[in-house]
Amino acid sequence: MSAPLIPKVEAILVLDNEGQRLAGKYYGDFLKTDESGKTAEEMKTAFEKQIQQKISGIVARPDAAEVISVMGKAVVFCGGSNAGPNGDVRVVHVGPASESELVLAYLCEGMYDALAQLMGGTTERTMVLDNLELVFLLIDEHCDGGIILETDGTKLSAAVLLRDDEPMDPTMGGMPSQNQGVPQQQGIPQGVNPGDMTIGQAFRQAREQWLSSTGI
Amino acid sequence: MEGQQQDSLGMGSVMREVQELAEKFKDEEEEAYVSPYAHLEKAQVLQEARIFHDPTAVRENPRKCCTVIAQLLHLQNTGQYMTSTEATEVFFGVTKLFMSDDASLRRMVYLFIKDVAETCDPDDVIIVTSCLTKDMTCDVDLYRGNALRVLVRIVDAAMLGAIERYVKQAVVDSSGQVASAALVSASHLFTSSPECAAVVRRWISEVQEATSSPNEMVQFHAMQLLYQIKSHDRLGISKLVSQFSTRNTLRSPLALVLLVRYTAKLLKDEYAEGRISGSIQDGSQVAKQGYQFLEASLRHKSELVVYEAARSICSLEGLEPQDLSPAISVLQLFLSSPKPATRYASMKTLAAIANTHPRVVAKCNEDLEALIADSNRSIATLAITTLLKTGSENSIDRLLKQISSFLTEIADEFKITVVHSLQKLCLTYPAKHRILVGFLSNFLREEGGFDFKRSIVNSIVSLIHAVPETTESSLLHLCEFIEDCEFTQLSTQILHLLGELGPKTTAPARYIRFIYNRVILENSAVRAAAVTALSKFAAQCPSLRTSLMVLLKRSLIDEDDETRDRAALAVAILEDAMAKNPYVPPPEDAEAEDIAPDTPAVNDTAAYVLLGAMPLSFEKLERSMTAYMNTPVSMDSADELSFEVLPIVEDTPAEVAAATSTATADPISGLMEPTKPKEVVDPAAAVYAIPELASLGRAFRSARPVPLTEAETEYVVSCTKHIFQDHVVLQFTVQNTVDDQRLENVTVLIDDSMSDVFTASGEIPCSSIKYGESHNCFTILEKNPDADLVPSQFTCELRFSVVQVDPTTGEDEGEPYEDEYPMEDLEITTSDFMAKVTVPDFKSTWETLGNTNEVLEKFALQFKNKGDAVAAVIDFLGMQPCDGTGSVKPNTGGKPHMLHMSGVFVSGQQVLARSQIAMQGETGNVVLKIAVRSDDASVSRMVADCIR
């Protein structure tokens, strides 16, 4: 029952409503080797399938992560919805069974908050899929090789968008596209355009503009 | 008006039309739009990655490059791994991207290098070092932190020396991001290799400084690294803990969580090393301070810290209930928290503490009952299983009612947990067995998967063994279950059990119907099991033989070979036995007490054949046979193969461990995969390979290797003792760790002058040991057959000649010279001559051996607790603990512990020992009473003398 002295995360996953891994990272030796001769990827998929079986249908509030136990690991997650395949994604943190679930929940809520900020308030599957690179960066800023790097949602999203982590205007935490025209801050090198949009985003915005211009 | 109408109509239709168009457009858009990460093909992405080599494209379209990198990462993420060559090629492309100044792109490059660094050849990765070092020293915070984190993934200790200055500075950087990155990187380095750890150790003052950073995460990371650096320095840790817990400078809740954990660890170590005895309040200064800090943390404003403190207090050993109760109160409050994680965590801790202090947890019972309705079923299950532990005997009925409504709505996994707690409950309150077993059998009729049903059957079966009163009712419940059981494995298991236990019950006849129904209705495996069960009834109860014969004969025409064979065997044996000892029914008018018990006659062949057990398990038989075949002597011998000539095999370490550990699985951890039995290698195989030693015969047993040197010395030597009938072969495994030496003609000189029992009679040297290799040399000791075994110590010395070699080419340099190397003393004790072998039934074997050669002794020993004493006694005797007595059950208080052990001595005698271990007051005195029985008084004496 004794806790590991240093809190470590064994996996961070971003799963869609059907349990598909959109992004994720496994740390340390967890699911690396197995006697049954399965590849790491097969084991991961099997593990995620087990997670999905247990969490499907459970919606966890962004500030109140849910806990389950899968294959002897403590699994904590935020998000999810009952809507179809395009519903909200879940952010899942996996830790050793002896890890404090509160610590894991704290981490998970922090990352979910950051994800929501980065995706402009929604954590819809397509939105996340369009901005996968931001998700990759978020995971990297959140956790380095299993050690927690940063937990604060606002700081995390700032770091992902290559903004300075000084305290800032809350309105800036929105969609990347809202940040166009923000004056370049000190400490940001040339060529940074935090408002860069993916093609998909640009398309959507154009479409919305067109629709609103037709008066509907 | 008309125009207006027309106009409005027109407007309406236009609106509608536009709307439809928009809808249509939207639909089309939805279909046409494809995410850049959907349906990626590896080949296609690799093709696109060529853009990295085009300087103009990189300069003008950094976005595109970012997307390609992200696509590559996505491929990795979805299991479409690149081969090593592909990875290297892409990697080179990515290094070109350092040309671009685009910050987003640079960030993606970092991410990519970090992800791919492991799969590429380290020599290739090294080329980015200079770029990263440049980024690390520039003045952009965002670059510095990230570059640093990538860099430490690829440097080795030598390169680390070159950049050490920058990392050290980064640790105390004013930017939190940079400092955190540096500290986390240092933590990784610290665990990566001892050389890197040595470098990191030098930064201790910077790390110390970082703990007072205003940035919370930096505080946390600094605390983490500081502890890693000091982890082997007990005094340092103690100072660290007291310094931070009194100064109160840490703001970060995560850092405080760390501090709480460090404190708890310190307290546990204090306890383990005996500096705390009794209540923590009268312990050392460190202990008192530590506990006060934990208690004060219970009032912290962050839930993280409060929970950590409560959990730590609960995990401390030797706490009095009043020391626990503040922590329990906090956890009780958490039970009604709106956050599931908080409820779950505190529920889990309470469930664990309820095992040892059910009464302290009992005050939460009301809250626990409320949690049975929790939407998180893990919490609900924990609540109910905890209630089963904390509830009093008279609340059981009410609880069971709640459980039965609860069970229908939870998953099988949780049901199994509940079943296990019910089983435990029945052990605590055996008086309630009727209700509890009835309840469990009700579950058997419910819907449920195999694992659920099996856990119930196993629970009922283990209850039969633990609480014999339950036997008859349980067997009938199980009989009913197999009437309608879809699982062959469970049916056969139950039929086997019926065959074992049924005949010994008061009315064996009533089970026959259930069993025979299986013969008519089931598949072949179950039929075969049923036939065996029937034949066991017949063998055990002569009164039933005639009628059972009728049933058994029907199976002689069964279509399944196995079933038919079993029936044929049983029928043949029984007919024979019935002819010899015909059953004489008692006279009609006999009084009940005059009727002889319905047992087979003493010389009954059917009882002997059908009821006698194998002397050893199949798995052991296999091992024994393998050992037999491995020894040349026994294969050549003319003796017939029988159980008596088979070598004695010891229990495997796994079996030994199973007998000594208290297995208490985590209640909600998932089902464990069954562990495969490992291939057992005969440790004496090395001896059999030496032709000169063949005449010694078969090794009786081999002890586990004992190190004779420290693990880090020039020559690492360990010794394995192989015990033969009249000899002991010492196998010395010598490893040469000096890279410019080759050892030749290696022997170990044993000084036997001090021993009356053993004389060194021969040596087999090892001809040559190159650098890094390990080889064996042997020394043979001859046992004096007239002397009794007494523990003997031998001084040993490694003798060899050294040939200097060039470490790079391996060529000899110069003449060999003689050298010697002292080693630790080797000890041969009586326990080395004892094989750990379990007996299936300790009690009856004990009775059979009788007390003619019994030796009784009483010893006063010094141990802190019963657990240590039990472990030491097992170790002294080298015997196998039986009946699960190898570990002390918790909460037995002052009651003495009974330890049963069995073994086989080298001369082939079975030895059994019963010992009673009792604590004498709180002073650490243990009184050991031991009785040893064997066929030979001198053996019993020798074994009893093993206690020191």
DSSP string, B34-96: --TTTT--HHHHHHHGGGGG-HHHHHH-HHHHHHHHHHHHHHHHTT-PPPHHHHHHHHHHHHH
Of B25, B184, B341, the CB nearest to A147: B184
Give every CB contact of residue A72 below 8 A, 6+ residues apart in sequence.
Answer: A97, B666, B669, B670, B672
| Helical spans, DSSP H, in B248-318 | 253-272, 285-297, 303-315
Would you state the CATH architecture of domain B685-828?
A: Sandwich (2.60)
CA distance A214 to B421: 67
Query: Tokens for B486?
Result: 């879809």
Q: In whole angstroms, what is the distance from residue B483 CA to residue B518 CA?
A: 8
Cβ-Cβ contacts under 8 Å, B352 against chain A: 1
Which numeric CATH code is attached to B832-944? Answer: 3.30.310.10
Residue B69 and residue A133: Cβ atoms within 8 Å? yes
Residue closest to A67 by CA, chosen among A108, A20, A30: A108
- CB nearest B79 (choices: A41, A150, A196): A41
* B254/A148 CB distance under 8 A: yes
Preferred mutation among B115, B261, B313, B319 to probe A, highest tally of A CBs within 10 A: B261
Residue A45 CA to its chain's centroid (Å)? 18
Q: Do A148 and B100 touch (CB under 8 A)?
A: no
CB contact under 8 A, A216 and B338: no
Helix (H) / strand (E) element for B130: namely: helix B129-137
How far is the alpha carbon of B716 from chain A, nearest alpha carbon, in Å?
30
Express as a percent the part of chain A with pLDDT over 70.
69
Residues with Cβ < 8 Å from B769, sequence gap 6 or more?
B734, B735, B736, B742, B743, B744, B746, B775, B800
Distance from the B340 Cα atom to the nearest Cα atom in chain A, whole angstroms = 5
B213: chain A residues, CB-CB within 8 Å:
none
B262–chain A nearest CA distance, Å: 7
Q: Which residues of chain B lie closer than 8 angstroms to A126, CB-CB?
A: 35
B170's tokens: 């980064």
Picking from B860, B856, B859, B873, the residue whose alpha carbon sits closest to that of residue B921 is B860
Q: Do B378 and A67 touch (CB under 8 A)?
A: yes
Chain B residue numbers touching A158 (CB-CB < 8 A): none
Closest CA to B573 of B561, B565, B563, B585: B565
Residues of A whose CB is below 8 A from B111: 136-137, 140
- Answer yes or no: do A191 and B102 touch at CB < 8 A: yes
Residue of A26, A67, A70, A128 best to disrupt the B interface, most CBs of B under 10 A: A67
Tokens standing for B301? 């404003």
Complex ipTM, two decimals?
0.78
Q: Cα separation of B572 and B709, whole Å? A: 64
Average pLDDT over residues A54-64: 82
A91 sits in which H/E element:
strand A90-96
Answer whether B184 sits within 8 Å of A159, measured CB to CB: no
Residue B271's CB is within 10 A of a number of other CB atoms, namely 18
SS3 state at B299: coil
Domains and CATH numbers, chain A: 11-178+190-213 (3.30.450.60)
Closest approach of A37 to chain B, Cα-based (Å):
13
Average pLDDT over residues A87-97: 88
Mean pLDDT highest for which of A54-58, A68-72, B294-298, B679-683? B294-298
Q: Are A60 and B340 in contact (CB < 8 Å)?
A: yes
Q: Which of A45, A165, A198 is nearest residue B177 as measured by Cβ atoms?
A: A165
Q: Which of B72, B136, B63 is nearest to B100 (CA)?
A: B63
Count how many Cα atoms sit within 13 Å of the Cα of residue B877 in the half-sphere of its side chain. 31
Report phi then psi at A166, rounded to 5. -70, 155
- Shortest CB distance from A145 goes to which of B188, B308, B339? B188
Burial class for B25, CB neighbours closer than 10 Å (0-12, 13-18, 19+): middle
Choose among A45, A54, A64, A56: nearest CA to A88. Answer: A56
Among residues B251, B205, B255, the alpha carbon closest in space to that of B230 is found at B205
- Closest Cα in chain A, distance from residue B305 (Å): 9
Give the whole-angstrom CA distance, residue B12 versus residue B455. Answer: 70
Place of tokens 């706490």: B319
Tell me if B340 and A66 make a contact (CB, 8 A cut-off). Answer: yes
Say whether A162 and B104 touch across the interface (CB within 8 A). yes
**DSSP string of B796-818?**
EEEEEEEEEB-TTT--B-S--EE
Do residue A67 and residue B19 have CB atoms under 8 angstroms apart? no
Size of chain A in residues: 216
Picking from A2, A151, A108, the residue whose alpha carbon sits closest to that of residue B339 is A108
pLDDT for the residue numbered A204 = 59
Q: Is the pLDDT of residue A188 over 50?
A: no
Cβ separation of A102 and B308 shorter than 8 Å? yes
Instruction: Determine whether the interchain pair B311/A3 forms a contact, defined as Cβ–Cβ distance below 8 Å.
Output: yes
Q: In Å, how far is B443's CA from the nearest CA of chain A? A: 23
The verdict on a CB contact (< 8 Å) between B111 and A136 is: yes
Determine how many CB atoms are found less than 10 A away from the CB of residue B279: 14
B40 burial class (0-12, 13-18, 19+ CB within 10 angstroms)? middle
Most confident of A64-73, A176-185, B39-48: A64-73
Query: What residues in A contact B378, CB-CB < 8 Å?
Result: 67-69
Token pair for residue B851? Answer: 């007390």
Contacts of residue A192 in chain B, CB cutoff 8 Å? Answer: 102-104
Verify whether the Cβ–Cβ distance B308 to A100 is below 8 Å.
Answer: yes
Q: Are A159 and B142 within 8 A, CB to CB?
A: yes
Nearest CB among A63, A70, A137 relative to B107 is that of: A137
Ramachandran region, residue B274 (left: φ > 0; alpha: ψ -120 to 50; beta: rest)? left
Q: Which one-letter amino acid corresponds to residue B547?
A: S
Q: Which residues lie across from B777 on neighbouring strands?
A: B732
Q: What does pLDDT average to in each consecutive run of 10 residues of chain B (948 residues)? A: 49 60 51 63 82 82 85 80 79 83 84 77 74 81 84 81 86 88 90 85 89 89 90 83 83 90 87 65 74 89 92 83 87 91 91 84 86 84 84 78 77 80 81 82 81 88 82 87 86 89 84 88 88 86 85 87 89 83 70 64 68 70 77 66 69 56 37 40 74 77 83 83 85 85 86 81 86 86 79 85 80 83 85 80 80 85 80 84 74 75 82 85 77 85 80
User: Nearest CB to A101: which of B62, B338, B341?
Assistant: B341
Q: Which residues of B touch A9 (CB under 8 A)?
A: none
CA distance A188 to chain B (A): 7
